[in-house]
Amino acid sequence: MLRSWIHLALHFMVPGVVARFGFADRWKRAWLIMVATMIVDLDHLLAVPVYDPCRCSIGFHPLHIWPAVAGYLLLCLFSKTRMVGLGLVIHMALDAIDCLWMGKGLG
């Protein structure tokens, strides 16, 4: 349970740090955009059960597969989509760390 709370908190804190130092002149907007990318977790609604604390998201949910992650990395290359791309990449990185923390590996 504690792992889940830490994981969720990091989804808000890490984009905040990236926004503050990477987009200092517009950090609030950058943080909001990066946090808004958590909508990517709507793909969890397709799973049965919807929430399984022992399941690794990476490689399981449709928006958490490696080709999608490659697309998110591409978004980082362009200034108009960079904040969205960074939010998605941060999200995937945190989910991957969670998978490794659980000892599940990366699907």
Residue range 47-103, pLDDT digits in tens: 999 888 888 999 999 999 999 999 999 999 999 999 999 999 999 999 999 999 887
- What residue segments make up the domains of the chain, in order of their start? 2-102
**Whole-angstrom distance, CA of residue 6 vs CA of residue 58:** 18
**Considering only CA atoms, which of 89, 91, 82, 101 is closest in space to residue 13?**
91
For 35, the 3-state DSSP assignment is helix
pTM of the model: 0.93
Sequence-separated (6 or more) residues with CB below 8 Å from residue 26: none
**Whole-angstrom distance, CA of residue 16 vs CA of residue 3:** 20
